[in-house]
A and B are shown apart, each in its own frame.
Chain A
Amino acid sequence: MLTTDALREYGAAVDEGLARCMNMEQFYLGLVAKAAADTKIGELKEALAAGDLDKAFETAHALKGMLGNLALTPVYDPVNEMTELLRSRTDTDYSVLMGRAEEQFEKLKALV
């Protein structure tokens, strides 16, 4: 079961996320659980694999907003880096960043 302690241990800035939710813990944890069930990480990976940088940017940008608002720092950081690169449609190797994002996202899912 997802707890704030577990999220803190994971590396999330829980106090920041909670403050945004007016310190309503259950509401915050509910949103985090919804984020963990989101499918955009997979969509981002697919878009990158297909070389569709426009689609990749839109997906990364949406992910970044959602993860940032919930202060899920470990997965937010690599997604943020990718978003900035994709903003200028930088054609580079995203596999390391994508790998980090996937790894952290899996960890988050495991917490839920």
Chain B
Amino acid sequence: MQDTSLRGQNITRRVLVVDDEQINRELLGMIISREYEVIYAEDGAEALRIIRENEKTLSLVMLDLMMPEMDGYELLAQLHRDEVLRRIPVIVLTSEKSAEVKSLQLGAADFITKPYDMPEVILARVRRSIELAEDNLMIRATETDELTGLYTKDYFFQYCSRHDRYFPDMAMDAMVLNINRFHLINDLKGRRFGDEVLAAVGGCIKGTVDANGGLACRCETDTFQIYLGHSEDCPDRLGQLTEMIRTKLGWGSISLRLGIYHNVDMSIDIEERFDRATLACSRQRGTYGTSYCVYDTEMHEKELFNERLISEIDKALTERQFKVFYQPKYDIRGDKPVLASAEALIRWFHPELGMVSPGAFIPLFESNGLIQKLDRFVWREAAEQIKRWKEAYGRTVPVSVNVSRMDIYDPDLEELLLDIVRSNGLQPNEYLLEITESAYTNDSSQIIKTVEQLRADGFRVEMDDFGSGYSSLNMLAALPIDALKLDMRFVRHICENPRDMMLVEMMLEISRRLGIPVIAEGVENEEQYRLLKSAGCEMIQGFYFSRPVPPEEFDLLIEREENKVKC
């Protein structure tokens, strides 16, 4: 079949006319040659040879049925049996009605009766048959994933919807299957083996859905979606599938995780059904063996809750349901702790839900990008607060604000922060930026560039949550930062666990040698405070001094500090 990329280009397509009668060949050839290049064959055997030789450039065969050597039926049957040749459309030339059914069964695309119709009719039918076949080829090329033979995602959803239209009362399961640590398979055994794994998984899934009347696609690199009639024996199915794949690959180390949304709610979108299965699948991230998880009521409620938070963020910002709280950071190098700065922390006071935990909405908004709206709100509020304190007490209490990973990639970040600072009559060095450690490890070069620029503008940058992720010590040396915030998990057990304390001491020593001051977070009691102080920690933040408080309460902390100085 001619390359479908020629579609729409002004390239003449090739048509083979097969008829043992010279006059018929000439007559038909004359008509067809108005729009196509015509080649001829006098019998079925010659036609088959020509078709094989021209399989990539032939757009259509016009075939007489009664011929010597090999008749039209036999040729049709041979073409139909060939995976490649069957894609070339065949128009049968016949004077008999009875021949039409048999030809259709053998795969003919259309008929032209003898004596021939008017040339315009013949040309129109030829055109239509070629277009249909090319469309078909194009659809085939885009609807299936070449590596696995499964549907591509878009077509998969369309076929699932069609399945529902035909079988509206059939109970269905939506499933998402993921290969555990596929990237490691690629890294350790090479991309070619990775492709073999994907092909094997795809092949086994296809076998399963074909046998059970379901549908499947590969929707991402190593993620598969399966739509099958409802069954309660998912563990068995998954076990069998894993074994099939292991046998096919001859490699027993592969493991899978399956997310199942049982007995799907037909009233929700097909995409949403698979979102639920994906959620169930993602619950098992990090597991080692083959495992499965069923989407349940708890997940459903959590999902509804998240949806509500997402849909209400704009209203909450407009209605000022969000408040910025401030937690002080104390410089503990001297005899007495001195209030040095504060961290701005957002709180959500929902009129119906009460106080929504930051743990419920911050990771959620980080995952979908809405965090940027909150960050910008906090940045403005914090700058205004620094200004207010400056006016009220004649001193600067620098406030640190969180800069999310997503903000780092915002090309307007620098301009925006400068604008916020300047519009409040502040200098950049009165404003602190906290960037989480994991942001540095993701794309360090981009982040280092942005941070260097911000520091050149005068902002001071603190690395947040140090030690919570995959920190590496050499990264510390390369990073342009003004302070390091030790994650609270390090501090939590320093009193009862000497090893934790030892780690903290090591990090303090390294930071000291690099000239980077350390702020310990989560300090809750005097014992922790004393240990950290004696180990040389420069600053402390935590409940020991104060929980995060609203601005009016923070005023009291400043006033107490002022009084101390006066005394």
Contact = CB atoms under 8 A, between A and B. Distances in A.
Interface stretch (A2-10, A43-51, A65-73, A95-103): A65-73
Contacts of A35: 23
Contacts of B23: 31, 34-35, 38, 66, 69-70
Contact of A66 (B21, B30, B31, B34): B21
A20 B21 contact: no
Q: How large is the interface on A (under 10, 10 to 19, 20 to 34, 35 or more residues)?
A: 20 to 34
B24 A69 contact: yes
A62 B72 CA distance: 14
Contacts of A70: 23, 27
A38 B20 CA distance: 13
Nearest to B66: A61
A110 interface: no
Contact of B24 (A21, A22, A24, A65): A65
B431 to A, nearest CB: 84
Contact of A69 (B20, B27, B34): B27
B402 to A, nearest CB: 78
A19 B27 CA distance: 11
A73 to B, nearest CB: 11
Contacts of A68: 95, 114-115
Contact of B116 (A24, A58, A61, A69): A69
Contacts of A24: 30
B66 A20 contact: no
B74 interface: no
Contacts of A62: 20-21, 66
B26 interface: yes
B287 interface: no
A32 B118 CA distance: 18
A56 to B, nearest CB: 13
Contacts of B118: 19-20
Give the dominant DSSP class at A's interface. Answer: helix
Nearest to A57: B66
Contact of B27 (A20, A38, A58, A64): A20
A21 B22 CA distance: 15
Contacts of A21: 27, 30
Given A19-B119, A20-B119, A22-B119, A65 B27 contact: no
Contacts of B26: 31, 34
B25 to A, nearest CB: 10
Contacts of B30: 21-22, 24, 27
A38 B21 CA distance: 10
Given A20-B115, A20-B116, A27-B30, A65 B22 contact: no
Contacts of B64: 65
Contacts of A71: 115
A11 to B, nearest CB: 16
Contacts of B95: 61, 64-65, 68
B422 to A, nearest CB: 81
A111 to B, nearest CB: 16
A112 to B, nearest CB: 14
Contacts of B34: 22
Contacts of B66: 58, 61-62
A21 B31 CA distance: 7
Interface of A: 16, 19-22, 24, 27, 31, 34-35, 38, 58, 61-62, 64-66, 68-71
Given A31-B26, A35-B23, 17 more contacts: A19-B118, A19-B119, A20-B115, A20-B116, A20-B118, A22-B30, A22-B31, A22-B119, A24-B30, A31-B27, A61-B95, A64-B95, A65-B21, A65-B24, A65-B95, A65-B115, A69-B116
